[in-house]
Amino acid sequence: MPTVLISGPFRFYFFSDEGNEPAHIHVKTQDRTAKFWLNPVSLAAN
């Protein structure tokens, strides 16, 4: 899973193949994760 950005405690990454899901990014801190759709930007899961 390639990391796009590390900013403070947040790591932004994606998986190379997640099927037919719309474009999104995963965000992880030490013990929490979230997924955001990119167009339009919105929270998909946390």
What is the percent of the chain with per-residue pLDDT over 70, rounded to a whole number?
Answer: 100
pLDDT at 1: 78
Cα–Cα distance, 8 to 23 (Å, whole number) = 24
Cα–Cα distance, 1 to 41 (Å, whole number) = 21
Residue 19 clears pLDDT 90, i.e. is over it: no
pLDDT: which is higher, 20 or 11: 11
Whole-prediction pTM value? 0.85
Residue 42 clears pLDDT 90, i.e. is over it: yes
Q: Which of 7, 39, 9, 12 is nearest to 25 (CA)?
A: 12
Annotated domain spans of the chain: 3-45
